[in-house]
A and B are shown apart, each in its own frame.
Chain A
């Protein structure tokens, strides 16, 4: 490592070189005369690296003044306990799957037992005669699969073509779950089976059975996945989606060291504890749906479109929901079929996937086969990145993994190609940072290899190629907390059968803003305060964050803000996905609270305590209101400043123990340092980072969806053979969140869900190499793979 003072100097230069403040000022000057705006001097920088500065932004005139840094605030940024914690811990919280309505019926799906077929008949007559059955519905369209773009080229068939085992065909609604199960088994389906293909490697062969007869595409969701329709397709291979910059051949020619390798990752299922499902209640004046969803708005909009209802006649409720991780956007088959059944039966219908269906068809993270080649000069500067990925999302798309290659490091010569391979398996969906954990697994191992070739510390090569001041600070803090200098030894340093090693990897994710993020803030005459939005809480704790923001603005306590979320009757809210929820909605919350306060002050013509110590409390002011309530609604305003391509991210350090006799890998300690703009609630942020790390370990070591090669049926659709991490596999985790003021909105908050899970598997793989001197290039790192890899070592092969 270079001497400390040299490093420090570099750090300063780096920050000075940041062009952000300068360019934005120029752009802002151009907008100076824009009506309805004003100049605001907003905080910018990372405390601890340099003194915070302020930069001038053009902001909407009706927005509140710049929010001071967290150390000057009472609630924002603090460890405020979850508002609904006492309901969750006592079982009082009502999830959609807990819904009971009078005369409620129970729905059940009939799923395909074959992976590819034309359905010639569906005989529901016996099911209809079952005494408990009130409605039967035969599915007209599988909403989750990719669709053949030119409809005239689709296989001619009376019923939707079966393209994966587990594809829903029909459903019943009956008076009990048992009756529904019985009735479903009475439905007779006649299949004309077609040739099928399950593995991505086989599906790529020119003579492989075709999953779709013509080019097909899957719609994108709020959490990612899906993709553009304008991508070429040949046989089952769709792509490439390409990015090209500079000239990689030139870059490699200029490189003194190169690394090239292939990496593979498995299919992972979301395994949210509450499965997909809804309770649908069709009534002539209103369709009401309690949905376990990450986006009440997307469920409402999809149902309104499909059932040709005005949006005002569809109400979606999600007060709580038991996890989603990207798989729960839109109404989906489960939502649409439940509404059909409710409409036919004239009664509310509860339709939830069982655990088997949830694993099998509830969505998944596509697998990947990635080819990476990178090169750098002797001084460690990256000269070229070439990256190709093939992956299968079954009958879906969105398996590309080039995200980290595009965004992590500065490299002028870049060429990436991403291919989707269709197979006869259930459709992949967005899954926490789509494409990034596998892409990071490949890229960050290649970077490690490159560092070793150049005789560099893995942190130094990252310092040389990563322009982000946040990541730089995260590496510094993480290395210190982890004790990197002491722990990072030569590979395979432990002589005994138990080998320890350390590794590091980092993530980038996009700062995404959803403009349909609104909230209403009410101040009642008794001084009570309400905040209402359609936004739902996936577990990140947005409800508490909304209360913190309102409380901060109005000078009251968070517990005194009644927050009602998950109801589309309220102003539209953003999806819980893509790390966009907090980024999107908190500025609207603050702006609405500020506007409500202005209205209150205008009515009572007195100042609020805070700015003026002798003034009155909110309660005293509200008591003077001449009307019952003041209310203000705000919608997300555009980001301050114009710079594109803002990123969130983090750096994770892990220590692993490899038992070379059993092949068991145990992660013992993790230090995770992350940024998310202005941190809003440290307690909840820690929880989300813990969760990201633990899902990353689970992905790296345990999880793997397996399909039976003869039927395409998932053979481990449960929670004992589809292994997910449990308490005994949980290492100690140290979480550190840096403050990163970007002057982007009235709260400047960002998200953390995706970046927290991206680098973990890569860091584990790097630590495995450090422990053993052997590279693992395929996930999950099971004992069998470890023993095989170490066996190669014993035979004298090298990484």
Chain B
């Protein structure tokens, strides 16, 4: 019997899992995270380190300080500003991106910990002219007011529908329970998510 099975969840897995959003925790049990080995065994820094990040299907070479979070690298270095930083400590899920398809808080993920894994940001999900069905449903049901939480909401919702194509209202509420919206758009987010599911998003 392996240690993993013994302990249920190893310390390393727990630490890795702490960046997960509420939407991500729904997928944690699938064991996908267990396959990702941390690449940060060698000490680097504190100066800039060259890395290659695979984002939305494209490789990006960049030079980052090891203290840089994935969120800051996306926003400040790559200017992929669809990903928002609000609380900067994993409490609001505005910075949700997918790593190998699993929603995580990019503000709690060091960019060096991403390694070879595939990052999907809101820009990679769809574009204004070719929206992902979840994005289209958000527009149709008016599930964005000021819009600042919206990219994170969309990433959580789309992740849910990928793993659970026929969610209940409670499933949707759980998936976006980490995503804070101050304008109070939740009822419309629920409606949009269920509508997108009905359309087979």
Nearest-CB residue, chain B, relative to A324: B146
Give A99 Cβ to nearest chain B Cβ, in Å. Answer: 9
Cβ–Cβ contact A178 & B67, under 8 A = yes
- Residues from chain B with a CB closer than 8 A to the CB of A726 are 177-180, 186
B11 to chain A, nearest CB (A): 22
Q: Nearest-CB distance from A763 to chain B (Å)?
A: 16
- A86, A274, A694: the one contacting B135 at CB < 8 Å is A86
Q: Which of A149-206 contact B (CB under 8 A)?
A: 177-178
Chain B residues, Cβ within 8 Å of A98: 75, 81
Distance from A551 Cβ to chain B, minimum over Cβ atoms (Å): 18
Q: Does A20 contact B (CB under 8 A)?
A: no
Q: Does A688 contact B (CB under 8 A)?
A: yes
Name B75-95 residues within 8 Å CB distance of A.
75-76, 79-84, 86-89, 91-92, 94
Most chain B CB neighbours (cut-off 10 Å) among A322, A323, A686: A322
- Assess whether B122 is in contact with A719, with CB atoms less than 8 Å apart: no
Pick the contact of A724 from B143, B154, B182 — CB < 8 Å? Answer: B182
Cβ–Cβ < 8 Å partners of A177 in chain B: 72, 76
Residues of chain B within 8 A (CB-CB) of A684 are: 142
The proximity string for A residues 689-705 relative to B, scoring 1 for CB distances below 8 Å and 0 otherwise, is: 01111110000000000
List B contacts of A325 (CB < 8 A).
182
Q: How far is the CA of A541 from the CA of B151 in the complex (A)?
A: 18
Is B189 positioned at the interface, with any CB of A under 8 Å from its CB?
yes
Q: Which residue of A lies closest to B135 (CB)?
A: A89
Residues of A near B86 (CB, < 8 A) are 273-274, 355, 719
Q: How far is the CA of A81 from the CA of B137 in the complex (A)?
A: 11
B145: Cβ under 8 A from any A Cβ? yes
CB closest chain-A residue, reference B141:
A683
Given contacts A86-B139, A719-B91, A322 and B128 within 8 Å (CB-CB): no
Scan residues 172-192 of chain B and give those whose CB is less than 8 A from a CB of chain A: 172-174, 176-190
A726, B149: Cα distance in complex, Å: 12
Cβ contact within 8 Å between A727 and B147: no
Binary CB contact string for chain A from 660 to 695 against chain B (1 if under 8 A, 0 otherwise) = 000000000000000000000001101110111111
The answer to whether A307 has its CB under 8 Å from any CB of chain B is: no
Report the bound CA distance from A81 to B138 in whole Å.
10
CB-nearest residue of chain A to B72: A177
A177 to chain B, nearest CB (A): 7
Query: For the complex, is A715 an interface residue (Cβ under 8 Å from B)?
Result: no
Decide: A90 and B183 in contact? CB cutoff 8 A. no
Residues of chain A from 312 to 326 with CB closer than 8 A to chain B in the complex:
320-323, 325
CA distance A321 to B183 in the complex (A): 12
Residue among A274, A692, A725 making CB contact with B148, cutoff 8 Å: A274
Chain A residues whose CB sits within 8 angstroms of the CB of B106 once the complex forms: none
Known: A85-B138, A273-B86. A322 touches B184 (CB 8 A): no
- Interface bracket on B: 35 or more
Q: State how many angstroms separate the Cβ of A350 from the closest Cβ of chain B.
A: 10
Verify if A92 is at the interface (C-beta below 8 Å from B): yes
Q: A81-B142, A273-B84, A273-B92 are in contact. Are A323 and B180 (CB under 8 A)?
A: no
Q: Is A82 an interface residue (CB 8 A)?
A: yes
Q: Are A90 and B125 in contact (CB under 8 A)?
A: yes
Give chain B nearest CB distance to A444 CB in angstroms. Answer: 21
Query: Within 8 Å of chain A (Cβ to Cβ): is B123?
Result: yes
- CB pair A730 B186 closer than 8 Å: yes
Residues of B contacting A730 in the complex (Cβ-Cβ under 8 angstroms): 173, 184, 186-187, 190
Known: A690-B184, A728-B173. A92 touches B147 (CB 8 A): no
Cβ–Cβ contact B76 & A691, under 8 A: no
Which residues of A lie under 8 Å from residue B79 when comparing CB positions?
A: 100
Q: How many Å from the CB of A81 to the closest CB on chain B?
A: 6
B201 CB to closest chain A CB (Å) equals 13
- Given the complex, which residues of A lie within 8 Å of B32, measured CB to CB? none
Given known pairs A81-B140, A94-B81, A538-B146, the reply for A728 and B177 (CB within 8 Å) is yes
Pair B82/A85 contact, Cβ less than 8 Å: no
Q: Report which of A355, A539, A719 forms a contact with B145, defined as CB distance below 8 A.
A: A539
Asked if A718 is an interface residue, CB under 8 A from chain B, the answer is yes
Are B145 and A691 within 8 A (Cβ)? yes
Task: Give which listed residue, B83, B94, B142, contacts A85 with CB less than 8 A.
Answer: B142
A93, B147: Cβ atoms closer than 8 Å = yes
Within 8 A of A (CB), among B42-95: 65, 67, 72, 75-76, 79-84, 86-89, 91-92, 94
* A273: chain B residues within 8 A (beta carbon): 84, 86, 92, 94, 146, 148-149, 180-182
Q: How far is the CA of A426 from the CA of B147 in the complex (A)?
A: 28
Across the interface, which residues of A come within 8 angstroms of B135, CB to CB?
A: 86, 89-90
Alpha-carbon gap, A727 to B23, bound state (A): 12
Give chain A residues whose Cβ lies under 8 Å from the Cβ of B186.
Answer: 690, 694, 726-727, 730
Least CB distance from B127 to A in Å reads: 6
Q: A690 — which chain B residues lie within 8 A by C-beta? A: 184-188
List the B side residues contacting A87 at CB < 8 Å: 128
CB of A459 closer than 8 Å to a CB of B? no
Residue of B65, B146, B174, B178 with most chain A CB atoms under a 10 A cut-off: B146
Q: CB of A733 within 8 A of chain B? A: yes
Q: How far is the CA of A732 from the CA of B186 in the complex (A)?
A: 10
A91 close to B121 (CB less than 8 A): yes
Q: How far is the CA of A93 from the CA of B148 in the complex (A)?
A: 9
B200 adjacent to chain A (CB < 8 Å): no
B139 / chain A contacts, CB cutoff of 8 Å: 81-82, 85-86, 89
Q: How far is the CB of B131 from chain A (nearest CB, A)?
A: 6
| CB of B62 to closest CB in A, whole Å | 14
Looking across the interface, which residue of chain A has its beta carbon closest to that of B173? A727
**Chain A residues with CB under 8 A of B92:** 273, 719
Closest partner residue, chain B, to A323 (CB atom): B146
Residue of B nearest to A99 (CB): B81
A 714-740 contacts with B by CB, 8 A:
718-720, 724-728, 730, 732-733
Residues of chain A within 8 A (CB-CB) of B82 are 90-92
Task: Give the distance in Å from the alpha carbon of A722 to the alpha carbon of B1 in the complex.
Answer: 44
Q: Which residue of A is nearest B179, CB measured?
A: A727
A234 to B34, CA, bound (A): 66
* A768–B188 alpha-carbon span in the complex (Å): 27
B154-A89 in contact (CB<8A): yes
Contact assessment for A86 and B145 in the assembled complex, using a CB-CB cutoff below 8 Å:
no
B91 x A720 contact (CB < 8 A): yes
CB pair B126–A539 under 8 Å, yes or no, is: no
- Across the A-B interface, the 8 shortest Cβ-Cβ residue pairs: A91-B82, A322-B148, A694-B184, A691-B184, A88-B147, A539-B146, A85-B139, A98-B81
19 extra interface residue pairs, beta carbon distance < 8 Å, beyond A272-B146, A272-B148: A81-B142, A82-B139, A90-B123, A92-B127, A98-B81, A178-B67, A274-B86, A322-B147, A539-B146, A683-B142, A684-B142, A686-B188, A687-B145, A687-B185, A688-B145, A726-B180, A726-B186, A727-B176, A728-B177
Selected A-B contacts with CB under 8 Å, 7 pairs: A89-B143, A94-B81, A270-B182, A273-B92, A539-B145, A695-B182, A720-B89
Chain A contacts to B: CB under 8 angstroms: 81-82, 84-95, 97-98, 100, 177-178, 270-274, 320-323, 325, 354-355, 538-541, 683-684, 686-688, 690-695, 718-720, 724-728, 730, 732-733
